[in-house]
Amino acid sequence: MIDVDAGGGDRLALAVLAQYRMATTEQVHRVLAPSVRIEQTRRRLARLRAEGLVDRITLPQAGRTRVWFPTSYGVQLASEWPEMRGHRPSRTVSDPTAVRLKAGHTLTVTETALAFLEDARRRGDLFRPLDWIPEVHHPIGSGEAVIPDALMYYRRGPADGDNGVMLRAFVEVDRATMGPERLAAKLPAYERLYRYVPTIPGRRRPSIGQELEDWRWRYPLFPRVLFVLDGTGPAGIENRITALRAGAGQLAPSGFLHDVPVLAASLADLLHHGLSAPVWRPVHDPDQRVHWTRSAYRQT
């Protein structure tokens, strides 16, 4: 763990930008040291920029917000650190034009990460900034892959009475830039990942009962799937949840949805009520309102 107070603030700031791809000044400040004046974060970022490790653009809208991102040199340096091992982004963004074009979605993903981080701090749970890993590639065969917006590692605190259970989640952040049906199409892709057994060239295909799904090499349990919806008003959110419910209805009643919690919530509700409030809705039964940390939300 990087100790910000012991001089690790610059290192953590660069690591977060390298992993998250970009963040506003305020977002970096909320990660590093929300209890101190934001001028300290501004000076830190300016120092990293002078050293050629990060750069920035200014968005013309939203009060000319400054968006920070790592340079290629910054990404190369950060990827060599032990805490970043295996976390290197699959698609680094170090070009100002690319940052501007990707800012809307990526900054919303960063805001979602911060919502989990700040809620964990309030609850005493263990969720560090680098426990949020964007765009981890998961093959599902035929050259296709599932690439969630983020993979999250989150350990519940002793206040929950479960001795610090580790939770893992695939997080999909939707800003209504695709139609509801395309959003719902992510569900069968996750089901394919749940069932996917890779075929290794030159090796005989395992017989029934000997298959080992690819995800089991990475996780002891399949991560839950969390859809965070933004970019529309309440009616648009309901349309998207209705589409997810219809998509869930196309899946087998046993198997994936029986074993894996798949939940949806609006980002507005999460920011207003908190991540651990019962604002999450199981996609197979969205009339429920549940906590995302519950162990199961099985169909009956």
Structurally, what CATH architecture does the domain formed by 4-93 represent? Answer: Orthogonal Bundle (1.10)
Task: With cut-offs at 50, 70 and 90, classify the pLDDT of residue 158.
Answer: low
Stretch 172-186: mean pLDDT: 92
Share of the chain above pLDDT 90, in %: 68
Give the pLDDT score at 86.
Answer: 65
**Confidence check: pLDDT of 205 > 60:** no
Residue from 249, 203, 228, 235 nearest 292 by CA: 228
Indicate the pTM of the whole model: 0.89
Residue from 295, 195, 196, 181 nearest 247 by CA: 181
Give the pLDDT score at 95.
Answer: 82
CA atoms lying within 13 Å on the CB side of residue 240: 27
Pick the residue with more confidence: 178 or 174? Answer: 174
3-state secondary structure of 234: helix
Stretch 108-116: mean pLDDT: 96
H or E segment to which residue 67 belongs? strand 66-70
Distances (CA, A) of 287 to 138, 176, 221: 31, 21, 26
Summarised one tens digit per residue, pLDDT across range 242-291 is: 999 999 988 876 689 989 999 999 999 999 998 889 999 999 999 999 99
The rounded distance, in Å, linking the Cα atoms of 37 and 116 is: 22
**Confidence check: pLDDT of 219 > 50:** yes
Measured torsion, CA atoms of residues 226, 125, 217, 209, in degrees rounded to the nearest 10: -70
Stretch 78-106: mean pLDDT: 80
